[in-house]
Amino acid sequence: NAGVTQTPKFRVLKTGQSMTLLCAQDMNHEYMYWYRQDPGMGLRLIHYSVGEGTTAKGEVPDGYNVSRLKKQNFLLGLESAAPSQTSVYFCASMKGHQETQYFGPGTRLLVL
């Protein structure tokens, strides 16, 4: 099992450009999450999904959109990137009522 994978690992964008971050998990988990991590801020929840076809907003959803068309994939989109979205993005998955989140390796995004 690959666990949770994220692509790309690193990306540089110019202000106003768009991009999609892909998260994939092969553990048949129901829950998937997108976080951003900034220095001194811990992990902040952007959006999450409790199952295929469902999404919901987290703590910091502005400027991001998500889709969960397939159970194993959770996409995070930036329609018009801003320098404030420079961050490390982590995806995680969790199986239903269990307590353990499994994290992907992260995507480092720099917006110039």
> Closest Cα to residue 55, out of 35, 46, 97, 87?
46
Q: Closer CB to other proteins, residue 15 or residue 54?
A: 54
Nearer to other proteins, 52 or 102 (CB): 102
**Pairing, β 73-78 against β 107-111:** unpaired
Cβ nearer to other proteins, comparing 19 with 60: 60
DSSP letter assigned to residue 75: E
Query: What is residue 9's DSSP assignment?
Result: S
Residue 44 CB, nearest approach to other proteins (Å): 8
Binding site for other proteins (CB under 8 A): 31, 33, 35, 40-45, 48, 50, 56, 58-59, 90, 92, 94, 97, 99-106
